[in-house]
Structures are given as C-alpha cells and as structure tokens.
Chain A
Amino acid sequence: MYSLELRGATKRYPGGGAEPVVALDDVDFAVEPGEFVAVVGPSGSGKSTLLNVLGLLDDPTEGQRLLDGTDVTSLSVAQRTAARKESIGFVFQDFHLLPTLTAVENVALPTAFDPGDASDRAADLLSRFGLGDRLGHEPAELSGGQKQRVAIARSLINEPAVLLADEPTGNLDTETGESILAEFERVKEEGVAVVAVTHDPLVEGFADRVVELTDGVLVGGVPDGGERADEPRPGPETATAGDR
C-alpha cells in the first residue's frame, strides 16, 4: 500500500477570465513508505499546489486522494486537521518556527494542546538531529541548518507516514543543504515517505525517484512508471502496512 496516493487528481482555480486555471491536470502520484521522491518543475508548474493537495491543506477539484489506503479526498476541516497532525509532517523553505518558542517547544508544537507532555520525545528527536545542546534555544539563536533540523524534528513528532518538504534546501548553503538531505535519508530509512518539491539539483541527487511537473501535468508519478493503481499493489511494504 502506498503511504500517500493521488488518482486522477485535478485542481482548478477560478481564473481572472472565463477559463479556470488548471494547476493540476489529471495527476497520478504515489509514494511508498521509505521512498524519497523529488518533484521538480519550473516555477508556476503547480508544484506548490501538488504539495498542498498531498498535505491535506487543499482539496483536489476532481480525483481521489488516499492516505495509507484510506480515502481522504473530501474531509471536514477538523478531520483534515486531525489527519495532518496524525500522518503528515511539513518542512518549509523558511523553516516556519514560532519565534517565541524554544527548540523543544517548537518540536512539540503539534502536540502542545494535547494531554501529556511530549517534551521528552521532542528532546530525543532534537538529540537525534544533533541539537541536544540547543534544546532551550529560541529560533533566533539558531543557524539556518539548525532551524531546518528543528523543523524536521517537529515534522516527525507524531510519527507521520509522510514528510512533505517545500524547497527544504532553498535557504541553505550547499554544505548545510547536503547535511539536511542526509537527515531526510535517515528519516526515510525509518519507513517514512518523503516528498520534496524543489528547484535544487542537489535534492534530485538524494532522491530515489524524480518526477517532473510541467503545466500541471506530472510524468512518472507512480513507482515503476506503472499504470494507475486501482488496487493496492502487493509489494515489499505490505508487511508493515498493517501497523496503521
């Protein structure tokens, strides 16, 4: 079973004229657990829209969206929020850490309003990303690479199925970018599917699969260049699929 899948997803925005703008045109896309997919394409090709639709921030106009094999095409706002929190981690180009919170608190932000204290788990995650000595620091006291590591730790606090990254290396120098991509490799080795939207050739080098989006049309969206998968395909991941 795929971690996240789009079947024939189309996203149309009402344009200025009579013709609506087609941001995604009948897109088939799937990512397997533990797979790192890079989505490349020119500006305005619909990469951000794809990421928003994948991340349950936006709904497709047509088509189907599945999360761990469950249809999540049209959910209520509250259900979408709960599903994002439960199954999807976000990493942004601008890190988007809350400036008033410490590193630990930023990592624990998705669970901040839940019963129980996730601080220990947040601290563990930060230690794993080499920030064990920066737990109480606020974002202003961290470097770009450190901030992005905090953001990755935040995206993992709820053990998501998928990590979605929007230009994760866009604001980092090459060396730091490489170290962040190395972190993504570690994340995917834990069975998390990673989808990164990028302009950065460096990311393509780390990805298991690179798919290209041009004017809303996606090429190679499904593993093995396969046909649209109407049934869950048997694969090496089916053993772990029962976990969720």
Chain B
Amino acid sequence: MSRADPSTPSGLAGRLRGWGPAVAMAARNLRRNRVRTALAVLGVCIGVLAVAALGIFGNVLALGAQDAIGDIGTQVVVSPNADAGVESLSDADVADIRRAVGGPAVVPLHSDNAVVSGQSAQQFATIYGVEEPALAFEAAEGRLPERHRQGAIVGAGVAEDLGVGPGDTVGIGGAQVRVVAVLVESQTFSPVAPDDAVFLPESAFSADGYGRVLVVAESGEAARAAADDIRAEVNAREERVELFELVAIVDEINGFFGLLSTFLLGLGAISLVVAGVSILNVMLMSTVERRQEIGVMRAVGVTRRDVLRVLLAEAGLIGAAGAAAGTLLTVLLVAGLVVSTPEVDAALALDPTNGRYLLLALGFGVGVGLVSGAYPAWKAANERPVEALRS
C-alpha cells in the first residue's frame, strides 16, 4: 500500500502540492453555472470597491487636511505664566529653554502694541522685537536678515492693509522705519499671529523681558519632545512658563480623520459582509446540488482534505476574482475622479498610502471568500459518502 501513503511528501511542497489540481477542478466547477458565479463575483467586487474607495476617500480627506494644516505642528509657543506671577521671560529663562530643547531653534520675542501707519492708512498692530527672524519666518518680498539690526519686517496682513512693501516706510509710535521685508501669509492659527504684526530689531525695545519665546522644530515629533523637555526642565520647580503646542491640535485633527476613515471603512465592510453571505449562499447551494458528486469523490478515495481544498478553492477564486475586479474598478474610479474634478489634488489621490487601502480591500475580498466558503466546504467534505450517495 505504498502508492497511497499520504505521509511520503512532507513539508511545504507536499502541502502545496494538492492545491494545483484542486484549483483547476474548482475553476471548472465555477464555469458550470456562470451566471451564479458571475453574480457572486460581482457581489465581492462591489464590496471591495466600497472598502477601497471609501478607504481612499477618507485617506485623501485626511491627507488634504494635513496639507492645509501645514507645519504648524512644528512650533511651540512659550509664554510667561501670569498665574504664577511671571510677567515676562528673562534672558536666563531663554537660556534655560535653549538648554532644555537642544536642537530646535529658539526665537525669543519682545512684544508690544502700537499704531502702525502707512501712506494713507493706519492700524493697530502687535510689535515684536526679534533678533533672528529667519529662524521662524519666511519672507514673501524682500529678504529676512540673519541678524535683525534695522528696519521693519511687516506681516502679510499689515502690509496689505497699509499698502506697503519693501523700500516703503511705515510710522511706528511716531518713528519712521523702512520696510525691509514682507512675510509670507501664515496658513494657520498661532498665538503669535505674525500676519497682523510688525517685527523690529530687539534694540527698539527698552524692556528686558521677552513676551514670548518661539521654539521651531523640524517635525511635529520634535516639537512634542521639545515641549516635554521644557515642561520637565524649565517648569521643574515652579510653573514659570505656559506652553501652547500646535501639535496637540494637529493630533486632534488627525484623530478625527482617523475616526472618519475607520467609519468609512466600516461602511464599506458592511457591503463586503453582504458579499460574503452571498458566497456562503452560492457555495451551500452548489454543495447541496453536487452532494452525490462529492460522495463519489469520497467513495473512490479522494480524501476529505482534498474535497475541502476543491471547495475552498472555489470560494477563494470567487473572492479573488471579485477582489481583483473591485480593485481595478477602484483605480479607474479614482483616476476618473482626478481627471474630471479639478478640486481633487492629483498628488493626494496618487499618495502611496492609498495603496494600503487597495491592498487591504484586495486582501479582504479574498479573505471573505475563504471565510464564507469554509463552512460549506467543511460540511460537504465531512458528509459520510454513504449518505451523500444515497440521495
């Protein structure tokens, strides 16, 4: 009885060996009732499309939001803690902050308020004294000096309202100051509000203390770490400073979009579950119809495992075909959306993270097929051939 010894081929090759004929047989069985197979495939296709498209939709929304929020998450604003009686931050405080954060740039700001006047208009604005403006800001017009020694750097809002640009002069508190640069309009909310501010050299301020200290990090992670360091070191003995972390807001926003993505994926998953039920139905029907055939296979010596393989392969093929079609359809849908809707940023739609949702949906589709096929396959494979042949 050597020919039928099932233990001879061992290892992975042995385990994979039976799948070839099983898949071939499964493919033929599926072709027997093309309409039924096609409908089951369509069900999976729609489910996969729903999961992939809604997943990508949520991801594009999140990416778009991240894009809009920009890099605000990289700044930490340090203010004196008025509740603890600290009115302003001293040079020693700034030195402490520098020591605490290490790498990120630390930009201390004097602050005051004054009326700023241009040729024909005037407005109330925040006046900051800053030594190294280039560390924290960007110029739209003119150039930001390494060391700010003379002239005024004007925020985008003030420049627009007063109609001034580099080379013009503005009146601040009675003195005439030449504008050396206009800042890029800031995309985000920040307590510093640079759009409505004018930046002067530190020498313009007689006071010793700083009203604010900006910490500018390379990334949100670094900003978070810098804020933690400041809390740990500068606020070690008393709460001298208050921290305003934009990264916390970014986290909240990202959290919201994460929730939205999960919700959308869940919505898509429902349709995939429905597709799974339809596979279950198709497989149960087809195993009942083929009860005798399965009984004959068992009678002539095909093992339960091989019968199980054939039936699982059928369900898996339905799942795989549906998943492949659904994935392809999703790619076409997204491409169509990008082409037809100018509002959708192509860069966002083509973001590699969207591929994750495609793969996820593809995997789900095949998985749903296998899971839904498991019960009918198990049931049919374990039926006693005597019973199956009797019918």
* Interface pick from A82-90, A129-137, A188-196: A82-90
* Interface pick from B132-140, B264-272, B293-301: B293-301
52-94 of chain B: CB within 8 A of chain A: none
Minimal beta-carbon separation of A53 from chain B (angstroms): 10
Contact residue range for chain B?
A: 20 to 34
- Asked if A81 and B303 make an inter-chain contact with CB atoms under 8 angstroms apart, the answer reads yes
* Interface pick from B14-22, B236-244, B252-260, B355-363: B14-22
Minimal beta-carbon separation of B216 from chain A (angstroms): 67
B386: chain A residues at CB < 8 Å are: 52, 57-58
Minimal beta-carbon separation of B1 from chain A (angstroms): 5
- Asked if A81 and B296 make an inter-chain contact with CB atoms under 8 angstroms apart, the answer reads no
**Whose C-beta in chain A lies nearest to the C-beta of B297?**
A109
Question: B6 is contacted by which of A82, A100, A155 (Cβ under 8 Å)?
Answer: A82
- Asked if B22 and A113 make an inter-chain contact with CB atoms under 8 angstroms apart, the answer reads yes
Given contacts A92-B389, A96-B296, A112-B21, whether A82 and B1 have CB atoms under 8 Å apart is: yes
**Whose C-beta in chain A lies nearest to the C-beta of B32?**
A100
> Does any Cβ of A come within 8 Å of B385's Cβ?
yes
B9: chain A residues at CB < 8 Å are: 115
Minimal beta-carbon separation of B388 from chain A (angstroms): 10
B296-314 Cβ-contact flags toward A at 8 Å (1 or 0) = 1111111110100100000
**Whose C-beta in chain A lies nearest to the C-beta of B385?**
A57
> Does any Cβ of A come within 8 Å of B192's Cβ?
no
**Whose C-beta in chain A lies nearest to the C-beta of B8?**
A115
> Does any Cβ of A come within 8 Å of B3's Cβ?
yes
Given contacts A92-B389, A100-B25, A100-B29, whether A110 and B3 have CB atoms under 8 Å apart is: no
B6: chain A residues at CB < 8 Å are: 78, 82
A92 CA / B292 CA spacing, docked (Å): 11
Question: A84 is contacted by which of B22, B28, B29, B301 (Cβ under 8 Å)?
Answer: B301
> Does any Cβ of B come within 8 Å of A65's Cβ?
no
A78 CA / B307 CA spacing, docked (Å): 13
Contact residue range for chain A?
A: 20 to 34
32-74 of chain A: CB within 8 A of chain B: 52, 55, 57-58
A103-139 Cβ-contact flags toward B at 8 Å (1 or 0) = 0000001101111000000000000000000000000
A115: chain B residues at CB < 8 Å are: 9, 17
> Does any Cβ of A come within 8 Å of B121's Cβ?
no
> Does any Cβ of B come within 8 Å of A101's Cβ?
yes
Residue among A78, A92, A112 with max Cβ neighbours from chain B (10 Å): A112
> Does any Cβ of A come within 8 Å of B12's Cβ?
no
- Asked if A109 and B302 make an inter-chain contact with CB atoms under 8 angstroms apart, the answer reads yes
A237 CA / B64 CA spacing, docked (Å): 86
> Does any Cβ of B come within 8 Å of A158's Cβ?
yes
Minimal beta-carbon separation of B356 from chain A (angstroms): 37
B31: chain A residues at CB < 8 Å are: 100
Ranked nearest first, the 6 interchain pairs of A and B with the lowest CB-CB distance are A85-B301, A100-B28, A113-B306, A96-B296, A110-B300, A110-B301
